[in-house]
Amino acid sequence: MRTERNKDGSWNVWMTRGEYHHIPRNANNWMEEIALRLMGDCGLRVEETLHVTPGDISRKTDGRSYQLEVTKGKDTTGEYDGGKQRETWMTPELERLIYRYADDQDIEDDEPLIPRKKRTVQTWVEKAAERASDETGDTDYERVSSHDLRRCWAQHLLVEEGVSPRIVMALGGWSSYDAIEPYLTAPTEDNIIDSMNQVTL
Protein backbone atom coordinates (compact mmCIF):
# COMPACT_ATOMS: atom_id res chain seq x y z
CA MET A 1 0.00 0.00 0.00
CA ARG A 2 1.24 3.45 -0.87
CA THR A 3 0.06 6.76 0.58
CA GLU A 4 0.42 10.39 -0.49
CA ARG A 5 -0.38 13.40 1.67
CA ASN A 6 -2.26 16.24 -0.05
CA LYS A 7 -1.78 19.94 0.60
CA ASP A 8 -5.03 20.08 2.60
CA GLY A 9 -3.80 17.35 4.96
CA SER A 10 -5.92 14.56 3.46
CA TRP A 11 -4.41 11.35 2.09
CA ASN A 12 -4.50 9.46 -1.18
CA VAL A 13 -4.16 5.72 -0.62
CA TRP A 14 -3.14 3.41 -3.46
CA MET A 15 -4.09 -0.21 -2.75
CA THR A 16 -3.63 -3.46 -4.57
CA ARG A 17 -6.76 -5.55 -5.10
CA GLY A 18 -5.65 -7.90 -2.34
CA GLU A 19 -5.31 -4.99 0.08
CA TYR A 20 -8.67 -3.58 -0.96
CA HIS A 21 -10.47 -6.88 -0.37
CA HIS A 22 -9.74 -6.67 3.36
CA ILE A 23 -12.08 -3.67 3.59
CA PRO A 24 -15.41 -5.11 2.36
CA ARG A 25 -14.59 -8.32 4.26
CA ASN A 26 -14.62 -6.20 7.43
CA ALA A 27 -18.07 -4.72 6.82
CA ASN A 28 -20.58 -5.28 9.62
CA ASN A 29 -23.44 -6.53 7.45
CA TRP A 30 -24.66 -7.06 3.90
CA MET A 31 -25.79 -3.47 3.40
CA GLU A 32 -22.40 -2.12 4.38
CA GLU A 33 -20.56 -4.67 2.24
CA ILE A 34 -22.71 -3.85 -0.79
CA ALA A 35 -22.05 -0.12 -0.37
CA LEU A 36 -18.29 -0.67 -0.09
CA ARG A 37 -18.22 -2.99 -3.07
CA LEU A 38 -20.30 -0.67 -5.25
CA MET A 39 -17.42 1.79 -4.85
CA GLY A 40 -14.53 -0.69 -4.97
CA ASP A 41 -15.91 -3.17 -7.52
CA CYS A 42 -18.06 -0.91 -9.72
CA GLY A 43 -16.31 2.45 -9.40
CA LEU A 44 -19.24 4.37 -7.93
CA ARG A 45 -18.81 7.63 -6.04
CA VAL A 46 -20.09 7.50 -2.48
CA GLU A 47 -23.19 9.57 -3.24
CA GLU A 48 -24.00 7.38 -6.26
CA THR A 49 -24.33 4.31 -4.04
CA LEU A 50 -27.34 5.91 -2.32
CA HIS A 51 -29.49 5.71 -5.47
CA VAL A 52 -28.78 2.14 -6.60
CA THR A 53 -31.84 -0.11 -6.78
CA PRO A 54 -32.13 -3.82 -7.67
CA GLY A 55 -33.88 -2.76 -10.89
CA ASP A 56 -30.74 -0.92 -12.02
CA ILE A 57 -28.92 -4.24 -12.52
CA SER A 58 -29.29 -6.19 -15.77
CA ARG A 59 -27.56 -9.01 -17.61
CA LYS A 60 -25.24 -8.14 -20.50
CA THR A 61 -25.72 -9.56 -23.98
CA ASP A 62 -23.14 -12.32 -23.36
CA GLY A 63 -25.53 -13.86 -20.81
CA ARG A 64 -22.83 -14.13 -18.15
CA SER A 65 -21.92 -10.56 -17.21
CA TYR A 66 -23.90 -7.85 -15.46
CA GLN A 67 -24.17 -4.11 -15.81
CA LEU A 68 -25.32 -1.48 -13.34
CA GLU A 69 -27.14 1.59 -14.60
CA VAL A 70 -26.04 4.63 -12.63
CA THR A 71 -29.05 6.91 -12.98
CA LYS A 72 -27.89 9.88 -10.90
CA GLY A 73 -24.19 10.08 -11.57
CA LYS A 74 -22.11 13.15 -10.89
CA ASP A 75 -22.38 15.74 -13.65
CA THR A 76 -19.45 18.16 -13.84
CA THR A 77 -20.72 19.76 -17.06
CA GLY A 78 -24.08 21.03 -15.83
CA GLU A 79 -25.74 19.54 -18.92
CA TYR A 80 -27.84 16.85 -17.24
CA ASP A 81 -30.84 17.64 -15.08
CA GLY A 82 -30.93 15.30 -12.07
CA GLY A 83 -27.54 13.73 -12.71
CA LYS A 84 -25.67 12.01 -15.50
CA GLN A 85 -26.63 8.49 -16.56
CA ARG A 86 -24.06 5.80 -17.37
CA GLU A 87 -23.60 2.04 -17.24
CA THR A 88 -20.80 0.33 -15.36
CA TRP A 89 -19.66 -3.26 -14.96
CA MET A 90 -20.79 -5.50 -12.10
CA THR A 91 -19.28 -8.85 -11.15
CA PRO A 92 -21.60 -11.89 -10.95
CA GLU A 93 -20.50 -12.34 -7.33
CA LEU A 94 -21.73 -8.87 -6.36
CA GLU A 95 -24.95 -9.36 -8.34
CA ARG A 96 -25.65 -12.55 -6.36
CA LEU A 97 -24.96 -10.80 -3.06
CA ILE A 98 -27.33 -7.96 -3.96
CA TYR A 99 -30.00 -10.42 -5.13
CA ARG A 100 -29.81 -12.39 -1.87
CA TYR A 101 -29.87 -9.21 0.20
CA ALA A 102 -32.83 -7.70 -1.67
CA ASP A 103 -34.74 -10.98 -1.40
CA ASP A 104 -33.97 -11.32 2.31
CA GLN A 105 -35.00 -7.72 3.05
CA ASP A 106 -38.00 -7.65 0.67
CA ILE A 107 -36.52 -4.71 -1.24
CA GLU A 108 -38.54 -3.86 -4.35
CA ASP A 109 -36.87 -3.27 -7.72
CA ASP A 110 -37.33 0.50 -7.43
CA GLU A 111 -36.24 0.83 -3.79
CA PRO A 112 -32.72 1.96 -2.88
CA LEU A 113 -30.38 -0.70 -1.52
CA ILE A 114 -28.54 1.86 0.65
CA PRO A 115 -31.19 4.20 2.16
CA ARG A 116 -28.67 6.14 4.19
CA LYS A 117 -26.88 9.49 4.19
CA LYS A 118 -23.57 10.08 2.40
CA ARG A 119 -21.73 10.63 5.68
CA THR A 120 -23.02 7.33 7.03
CA VAL A 121 -21.51 5.43 4.10
CA GLN A 122 -18.23 7.32 4.50
CA THR A 123 -18.18 6.24 8.16
CA TRP A 124 -18.75 2.62 7.13
CA VAL A 125 -15.63 2.83 4.97
CA GLU A 126 -13.58 4.33 7.79
CA LYS A 127 -14.72 1.75 10.35
CA ALA A 128 -14.19 -1.21 8.01
CA ALA A 129 -10.73 0.15 7.16
CA GLU A 130 -9.92 0.45 10.87
CA ARG A 131 -10.89 -3.18 11.37
CA ALA A 132 -8.76 -4.12 8.35
CA SER A 133 -5.87 -2.28 10.01
CA ASP A 134 -6.35 -4.32 13.19
CA GLU A 135 -6.62 -7.53 11.16
CA THR A 136 -3.50 -6.96 9.05
CA GLY A 137 -1.37 -4.76 11.31
CA ASP A 138 -1.08 -2.22 8.47
CA THR A 139 -1.87 1.22 9.90
CA ASP A 140 -2.13 2.75 6.40
CA TYR A 141 -5.69 1.38 6.32
CA GLU A 142 -6.59 4.07 8.85
CA ARG A 143 -6.05 6.67 6.09
CA VAL A 144 -8.47 5.06 3.63
CA SER A 145 -11.48 7.12 2.53
CA SER A 146 -14.45 6.27 0.34
CA HIS A 147 -12.77 7.84 -2.69
CA ASP A 148 -9.78 5.51 -2.27
CA LEU A 149 -12.07 2.56 -3.10
CA ARG A 150 -12.99 4.18 -6.44
CA ARG A 151 -9.32 5.09 -6.97
CA CYS A 152 -8.31 1.46 -6.38
CA TRP A 153 -10.93 0.26 -8.87
CA ALA A 154 -9.77 2.66 -11.59
CA GLN A 155 -6.07 2.02 -11.11
CA HIS A 156 -6.56 -1.74 -11.09
CA LEU A 157 -8.35 -1.62 -14.43
CA LEU A 158 -5.91 0.83 -16.02
CA VAL A 159 -2.57 -0.34 -14.65
CA GLU A 160 -2.97 -3.97 -13.60
CA GLU A 161 -5.48 -5.14 -16.23
CA GLY A 162 -4.57 -2.79 -19.08
CA VAL A 163 -8.16 -1.76 -19.82
CA SER A 164 -8.48 1.08 -22.30
CA PRO A 165 -8.69 4.50 -20.61
CA ARG A 166 -11.72 5.30 -22.77
CA ILE A 167 -13.56 2.27 -21.39
CA VAL A 168 -12.65 3.19 -17.80
CA MET A 169 -13.80 6.75 -18.44
CA ALA A 170 -17.17 5.49 -19.67
CA LEU A 171 -17.62 3.04 -16.79
CA GLY A 172 -16.53 5.51 -14.14
CA GLY A 173 -18.30 8.57 -15.48
CA TRP A 174 -15.26 10.71 -16.26
CA SER A 175 -15.73 13.16 -19.11
CA SER A 176 -12.08 14.17 -19.39
CA TYR A 177 -8.90 12.16 -19.85
CA ASP A 178 -7.15 14.56 -17.48
CA ALA A 179 -9.41 13.32 -14.68
CA ILE A 180 -8.15 9.73 -14.90
CA GLU A 181 -4.55 10.45 -15.91
CA PRO A 182 -3.35 10.37 -12.26
CA TYR A 183 -4.75 6.83 -11.88
CA LEU A 184 -3.01 5.73 -15.07
CA THR A 185 0.44 6.98 -14.12
CA ALA A 186 0.54 6.47 -10.35
CA PRO A 187 2.52 3.33 -9.50
CA THR A 188 1.45 0.83 -6.87
CA GLU A 189 3.89 -0.30 -4.22
CA ASP A 190 4.23 -3.62 -6.06
CA ASN A 191 5.09 -1.76 -9.30
CA ILE A 192 7.79 0.20 -7.48
CA ILE A 193 9.26 -2.90 -5.81
CA ASP A 194 9.31 -4.90 -9.06
CA SER A 195 10.94 -2.07 -10.99
CA MET A 196 13.51 -1.10 -8.37
CA ASN A 197 14.55 -4.69 -7.70
CA GLN A 198 15.84 -4.74 -11.28
CA VAL A 199 17.98 -1.65 -10.77
CA THR A 200 21.61 -1.73 -9.70
CA LEU A 201 22.51 1.21 -7.49
Model pLDDT for residues 19-34, shown as the tens digit of each residue:
999 999 999 999 999 9
- At residue 86, the pLDDT reads 93
State which residues form the domain around 163: 2-196
Mean pLDDT for 99-108 is 97
What is the band of 168 on the pLDDT scale with cuts at 50, 70, 90?
very high
Q: Where in the chain does DSSP place strands (E)?
A: 2-5, 11-14, 57-59, 66-73, 84-90
Average pLDDT over residues 103-114: 97
Residue 128 has pLDDT above 70, yes or no: yes
When pLDDT is averaged across residues 75-104 and rounded to a whole number, the result is 84
Q: How many domains does the chain have?
A: 1
Cα torsion 18, 36, 102, 56: sign: negative
Neighbour tally for 78: CB within 10 Å: 6
Least confident interval from 98-107, 108-117, 120-129, 160-169: 160-169
113 part of a folded domain: yes
Which of the residue ranges 124-133, 169-178, 189-198 would you say has the lowest mean pLDDT? 189-198
Which has more pLDDT, 200 or 69?
A: 69
* Angle, helix 30-40 to helix 92-104, in steps of 10 degrees: 150
Residue 201 lies in a domain: no
Question: Residue 57 sits in a domain of what CATH number?
Answer: 1.10.443.10
pTM of the model: 0.87
192 within some domain: yes
